Structure 1
Amino acid sequence: MRRSRIFLLLGVIVLIPTILFFWLDQQPKAKNQDTNFAVVNQLHDLIAKESVYDVTSEKLVEGALRGMAKAIDDPYSTYYSQQEAALHKQTLASERIGIGVELSQKDGKFVVISPVKTSPADKAGIRPLDEIVQINDTRLEGKSLGDVMQLMQGKEGEEVTLVVFRPSLERHVKINVKRAKLKNETVHSEVINVEDTPIGYVTVTLFGEETGVEWQRELNSLFEKNVEALIIDVRDNPGGYLHSVAQIISTFERQEKIFAYMQKSDGKTEPLKTKYVEEFSPFIEKLKNIPITIIQNEGSASASEVFAGALQDWKRATVIGVTSFGKGTVQKSWELKNGGELKLSTNKWLTPTQRWIHHKGIEPDIEVKQHPLYGIETKLLKGRFETGEFSEEIAYSQSVLAELGYAMVRKDGFFDMETAQAVSNFRKRYDLQEGRHMDEQFFAKLTEQLQAYKASQINDMQLQMAISYVMHQLQM
């Protein structure tokens, strides 16, 4: 008994210095943290008491919270106020009112990742990499992402005017967009018949709350029509929920299979695997036996890159188009005590072969650039212009006419004799009132021809390559 007490006493004696060491080791860290927060409180009190400007405590706290998120220097890590958090959640909800655009913020700039396909922004001609600099009469310098989202919100049917800087044109463009109810139907399908061969064509515009269910519905519809190949279009898909990607990609595999890795800051990786669901069984068998292609572009980002990267690494699909956006991080959101929300990049994601595509993108297996007309936005133009004048409307028309095949050298907005001849030829071709001037009748017909060109699948070079590829695979 005495020996046990001695051993116990020795254990306590050994334990006390150990605890004391760790306690002392933690003191500087705790002290530094307390000092840091003391400075924050000091700054808050000084501004509230001494500033010549009237500023509320709530506004100071909001500024501090934004500053902490901004200090990470990551455009995808963001603090949202309570109102902004509500607006952000609408983005991937089943229904909302807005214009349909995915934005990122970096160095005070608000850059379009992608317009949601078939949304008002998409129809109005907003393009990936457009930098939004003004909304209606409000310049965006010094604004937060939440401020920008609020400015875009409004009543259904109301028009919002955006001024964007378009890098490809190296100039500013004004675009009018009408707000609409966005139902977020994220999966659409149709059958394209080529030489009596039915090909399934599925467009996934966003990985939202119901995308997995919609995918199953559309696949079922296509297989009832006995499609022999599948083309999956994720062009201008800005991403969304990772669990939606998991649902869709699980329809390709019966066994659990790694479709991505999550990598933490310490370098440790965790595999993400497909999950077998009995109701997916018919899809799995059919998808194994048909050629599959994925079409992507520079607006395909985040979750759509996870999807394309997995099927590419598995060699289950051929990727066609151009290099994707290149967003290789995953964000997690936390609700805060003030009703706000923190969206924070917590992991890198890697493809099944452990590629990190951040700022690189998914490179296509077959590169196909789209016709330049697809990069020209649809604009509502007004006014009358003649030889010798200079304007943005003239520059726009020169670009469209040139891509439609009219002889055109100048695209700088100066109305020269060559432009006048091209305008005259265009007016004659479409039975407009004769003349060598641009007017609203001319602009309306020019817009109609641009829209008709882009609406025709025959002119979609990336889609046509996908069709040719799967037809070739079927004939092998």
Structure 2
Amino acid sequence: MRMSRFLMFVAVCAAAGGIFYFVQNGKGESAETVSGKKPIDEAYDLILEKAVHRVGGDELVEGAVRGMADVLNDPYSTYMTEEEAAAHEESLSDERVGIGAEITESRGRFIIVAPVRNSPAEKAGILPYDEIVRVDGERVDGKTMKELLSLIKGAEGTDVTLTVFRPDEDRHLEVAMKRSAIPVKTVDSRMIEKDGYQVGVVSISMFGEETAAEWEKHTKQLISQGADGFIIDVRGNPGGYLFSVSKIAGSLLREGTVFAFMQNAEGVKEPVRSEPPEDEEYGKAMRRMNTVLLQDKGSASASEVLSGALQDNGRAFIIGTVSFGKGTVQETWPLSNGGEMKLSTHKWLTPSGQWIHGKGVKPDLESEQQSLYGLPVIPVEGSFQPGDYGEDVGYAQRVLAALGYDVTREDGYYDETTLKAVERFRDNEDLDPGGAMDDSFFRALRAKVVEYKADDKNDDQLQLAVGYMKHVLKSGN
């Protein structure tokens, strides 16, 4: 199957990413009637004429199209409006225009998690925990995240002003900046030395437009630095473009190796084969490398294509947990109204013919992560006392328990054991005495999580992978 026929990219789903190939079709011409089905036309006319809740005809058509996709009861088949389709495609672009800041929503407030390095937000002085209050003078309370982002986004080079509340200084600030293109990096790497062996760790956050080029750049650099083997980390990777997976697999597999099958609704299977890198010497060096792949339940779709390809071809040892289990491929068609219809049209199978949908790729060596390492780093604020209840209290309880404090509840109710744990934590971190979960407490708690997750020694799965790699290299396999 020719690779040019496929584009696989991340689905905007709560559960996991998706796989797609995009078909370029011409826009259809409008028909004289709404549809060729009489009941649909009758319902369309009745709603426009009789319904007390007034809507436009275009909205009814979009609702009908969305409803047809919903009837399939497939979370990966859906209708996207023109705006949703554009945002979807942008999610895997190699750059995005904006201010460069990670934002989270907490109890109706929009909090800066962190500015991107060298971004307009960082250069303008935006800091973690800044709360966005206004964008260009427009208040954001009551808005959704989507509405906030639409206010912040704009053309490259245009001005935007944020009004933020900075809790550390207890004041509001107006911060002006120019929107710019923010490069999206999907690959990161580093070298770990283990008893005289050099192990290159390559982390892939998703398979975007430039991921394959980033992969080659990072792996070439690691090879030049004397890497003896590679650990590929796709934990939390929700999916991506098939051509990126193909090129990465092609750098590790022999030319023409089947790394997946595509199976249509009639059950016809077509092999997808690897293509070698243009740089032959690089390809030879890559194929000599021992490889371990790290995955978890957040590794989905195109990540599973890679892990299945390397595992079935005996090219990598898989460590971690069972992956997500996304084994369908979506095909996307543009519609005449500017929207897109996305439908699951194929299954993808591993080289051994396994359909992993709903089951996932099983690791060769199971390894669960420590609870604290798996907790997200979120900017929690507020003030809570014993007897209070809330999600932020529950988050603090889970962190305290993972840090070794004696906490009997993690459901968000601030009980006596939580109080004692908070008092001990505040004492250990040289905070003001007492049992208040206040801003200083949450900042110190977040710093502990950040510090813990930044230390590779606390990453049990990575340490197991490094140990396994050392064993393989030492044995000369």
Fold match by TM threshold 0.5: yes
8 Å CA contact retained: 2:393, 2:412? yes
Deviation digits for residues 45-94 of structure 1 (CA, Å, limit 9, x no counterpart): 23223333322221111112112222222111121122222111111111
Match for residue 242 of structure 1?
A: 242
Letter in 2 for 1:213: A
1:180, CA displacement in angstroms? 11
Deviations 1:148-197 (A, max 9, x none): 8667544169799xxxxxxxxxxxxxxxxxx9976321111111122232
Distance 1:158 1:236 in 2: 31
* Matching residue of 1:340: 339
Matches within 5 A, 1:310-459: 310-459=309-458
Q: How does 1:191-210 map to 2 (within 5 A)?
A: 191-210=191-210
Residue identity matched to 1:204: I
User: Counterpart of 2:301?
Assistant: 302
Report the AA paired with residue 282 of structure 2: F
* Further displaced range: 314-323 or 191-200: 191-200
Amino acid of the structure 2 residue aligned with 1:155: I
> 1:253/1:436 Cα in 2 relative to 1: closer, same or farther (>3 Å)?
closer
Q: Is the 8 A contact 2:319 2:364 kept in 1?
A: yes
Structure with bigger RCO (C-alpha 8 Å, 6+ apart): 2
The question of 1:289 aligning with 2:288 is answered yes
1:417 to partner: Cα distance: 3.9
1:444: Cα distance to partner? 1.4
Is residue 398–residue 408 contact of structure 1 (8 Å, CA) maintained in 2? yes
Q: Which amino acid aligns with 2:276?
A: Y
Which residue, 155, 165, 172 being the options, matches 2:152? 155
For the residues of structure 1 that align with 2:240 and 2:434, how far apart are their CA atoms?
50
- Output the CA distance in 2 between the equivalents of 1:332 and 1:136: 38
Report Cα offsets for 1:318-353 as digits up to 9, x if no partner.
111111111101112112222221222110000000
What amino acid does structure 1 have at the position aligned with 2:397? Q
Gapped regions of structure 1 (runs ≥ 5): 1-33, 102-117, 125-134, 140-147, 161-178
- Specify the structure having the higher radius of gyration (Cα): 1
1:50 is aligned to 50
* Corresponding residue of 2:6: none
**Contact kept in structure 2, 1:200 and 1:228, CA below 8 Å:** yes
* Pair 1:412–1:45, CA change in 2 (3 A): closer
Q: Distance in 1 between matches of 2:101 and 2:268?
A: 39
Q: Which runs of 5+ in 2 are unaligned?
A: 1-33, 104-115, 122-127, 130-139, 154-160, 165-178
Using the alignment, how far apart are the partners of 1:290 and 1:62 within structure 2? 51
Confirm or deny that 1:469 pairs with 2:468: yes
Amino acid at match of 2:202: V
Q: Is the 8 A contact 1:385 1:438 kept in 2?
A: yes
Amino acid at match of 2:63: G
Tell me the residue number matched to 1:94.
94
* Contact kept in structure 2, 1:78 and 1:343, CA below 8 Å: yes
Please give the per-residue CA displacement for 1:260-299, whole angstroms capped at 9, x wherever unaligned. 00001111100101123442x2233223323211111111
2:416 and 2:52 map into 1 onto residues whose CA distance is: 61
Aligned pair in 2 of structure 1 residues 424, 250: CA closer, same or farther (>3 Å)? Answer: same
Query: Whose helix fraction is larger, Structure 1's or Structure 2's?
Result: 1
CA contact (8 A) 2:253 2:315 kept: no
User: Partners of 1:55 and 1:437 in 2: how far apart?
Assistant: 50
Q: Identify the residue that residue 255 of structure 1 maps to in structure 2.
A: 255
Question: Residue 77 of structure 1 corresponds to which residue in structure 2?
Answer: 77
Query: Aligned partners of 1:138, 1:362: CA distance in 2, in Å?
Result: 39
TM superposition score normalised by structure 1:
0.74
Q: Is the 8 A contact 1:99 1:152 kept in 2?
A: no
In the alignment, the residues of structure 2 paired with residue 295 and residue 355 of structure 1 have an alpha-carbon distance, to the nearest angstrom, of: 20
C-alpha distance in structure 2 between counterparts of 1:474 and 1:344, whole Å: 45
Judging changes above 3 Å, is the alpha-carbon distance between structure 1 residues 383 and 244 closer, same or farther for their aligned structure 2 residues?
Answer: closer
Cα distance, 1:371–1:158 mapped onto 2, change above 3 Å = farther
Q: Distance in 2 between matches of 1:42 and 1:386?
A: 59
Rounded Cα–Cα distance in structure 1 between residues aligned with 2:187 and 2:375: 25
Q: Does the CA-based 8 Å contact 2:305-2:350 persist in structure 1?
A: yes
Q: Tell me how far 1:414 sits from its aligned partner.
A: 4.0
Deviates more, 1:437-446 or 1:92-101: 92-101
